[in-house]
Amino acid sequence: MRPQIPLSTMTKLVLTIWVVLLIPWLPLAGFAGLAFDGATTPGRTVVAWIFVLLIWTYPVPVWLAFAYRKERPRLVWLPLINIAPFVLALLAAAFD
């Protein structure tokens, strides 16, 4: 086991933001499935799947960031991994 590193103020702030964002996620994650209502073409169906999977998997990187916050403080940025595919899905939908 690695030695624990004291958490910086930035690490605490970012981790707090991710955890606070879980509060609205809990009741709204179920509504992500409604993304398929407007998916009439195959391209939009792919975008809908990307959106739904990113929304439903958001707690996983938040939990990993929280669980390893003392051994690896840089992992607090891990929840950003859900944003890049989301932006790409929005761009794909714009050009569809």
Express each pLDDT in 5-50 by its tens digit: 788 899 999 999 999 999 988 888 888 888 888 767 776 777 788 8
pLDDT interval class at 70 (50, 70, 90): confident
pLDDT at 17 (0 to 100): 93
- Residue 16 tokens read as 């707090």
- The amino acid sitting at 28 is L
DSSP helix/strand/coil, 73: helix
Reported residue count of the chain is 96
pTM for the full predicted model: 0.77
- Residue 84 tokens read as 């890049």
In angstroms, how far is CA 40 from the centroid of its own chain? 26
Which of the 8 DSSP states describes residue 17?
A: H
pLDDT above 90 (res 63): yes
The answer to whether 47 touches 89, Cβ cutoff 8 Å, is: yes
Alpha-carbon dihedral sign for residues 62, 65, 67, 69? negative
* 57 vs 4: which has the higher pLDDT: 57
pLDDT at 15 (0 to 100): 92
pLDDT at 39 (0 to 100): 64
